[in-house]
């Protein structure tokens, strides 16, 4: 687990924590400018409860890093445009907006978090670092727990793999038996179909035989009638 000293001295470790800007408000409320994005040097100093000079010194010593994390310096036309936008927003809040004379340094939440990992003589900055390190430890613990669970699952899957290998030949034999049964069923269907055709033929023969029997009965009846008429004569 990284230590506070390591966080203060390692830019790489600080870079790993730059997404945790939510930690700032957990320690202390950070009051933003009306645009909701930026704060000034004096606002950063007020947040960390240090002088503006302390913030400026840290910023100058690590200029490239803090610029990479959102620090901007406005001059000339850019400053005038920013002032104009801020004036309209401050008027909505019915407050006077303090304008910088020639230049203005602005920090984002990401930049303020960067300063928190660089500023040594601030209790607020130390609290922010503590939150970051505690969160890191919590994530490591959760990762270790998850890693153990994944390891157990992998072990179970290994057992399943062995079982499937043993089950493979059984499944092959069952498949062969099912194929054989399918062939037998198909042959049975063919036999049943042939029997059905034969029964149809037999039924037709029975119908023809019934017709012939009816004709024979009619002839026999007619013959008896004729014999009766002869006896009367």
- The pLDDT score that the predictor gives to residue 144 is 44
Per the CB < 8 A criterion, the answer to whether 3 and 129 are in contact is no
What is the SS3 assignment for 72? strand
pLDDT at 143: 45
What are the backbone angles phi and psi of residue 118, rounded to the nearest 5°? -120, -25
How do residues 35-46 score in pLDDT, each as one tens digit? 899 999 999 999
Q: Which two tokens stand for residue 158?
A: 């290994």
Whole-structure pTM over 0.75, yes or no? no
What does the DSSP 8-state code read for residue 93?
T
Residue 233, pLDDT score: 61
Query: d(Cα 131, Cα 109) in Å, to the nearest integer?
Result: 16
> If you search the block for the tokens 């727990």, which residue do you land on?
145
* Top-confidence range, 140-144, 184-188, 190-194, 228-232: 184-188
């Amino acid at each position: 687990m990284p230590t506070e000293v390591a966080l203060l001295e390692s830019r790489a470790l600080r870079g790993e924590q730059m997404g945790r800007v939510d930690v700032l408000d957990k320690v202390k409320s950070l009051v933003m400018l009306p645009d909701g994005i930026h704060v000034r040097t004096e606002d950063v100093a007020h947040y960390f409860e240090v002088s503006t000079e302390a913030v400026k010194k840290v910023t100058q010593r690590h200029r490239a890093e803090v610029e990479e994390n959102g620090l901007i310096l406005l001059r000339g036309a850019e400053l005038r445009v920013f002032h104009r936008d801020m004036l309209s927003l401050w008027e909505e809040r019915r407050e006077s907006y303090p304008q910088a004379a020639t230049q203005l340094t602005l920090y984002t939440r990401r930049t303020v978090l960067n300063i928190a990992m660089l500023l040594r003589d601030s209790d607020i900055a130390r609290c922010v670092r503590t939150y970051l390190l505690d969160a890191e430890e919590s994530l490591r613990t959760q990762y270790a727990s998850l890693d153990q669970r994944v390891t157990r699952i992998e072990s179970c899957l290994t057992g399943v793999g062995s079982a499937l290998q043993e089950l493979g030949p059984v499944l092959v034999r069952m498949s062969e038996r099912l194929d054989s049964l399918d062939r037998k069923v198909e042959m049975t269907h063919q036999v049943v179909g042939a029997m059905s055709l034969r029964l149809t033929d037999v039924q037709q023969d029975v119908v023809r035989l019934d017709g012939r029997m009816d004709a024979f009965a009619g002839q026999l009846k007619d013959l008896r009638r004729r014999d009766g008429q002869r006896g009367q004569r």
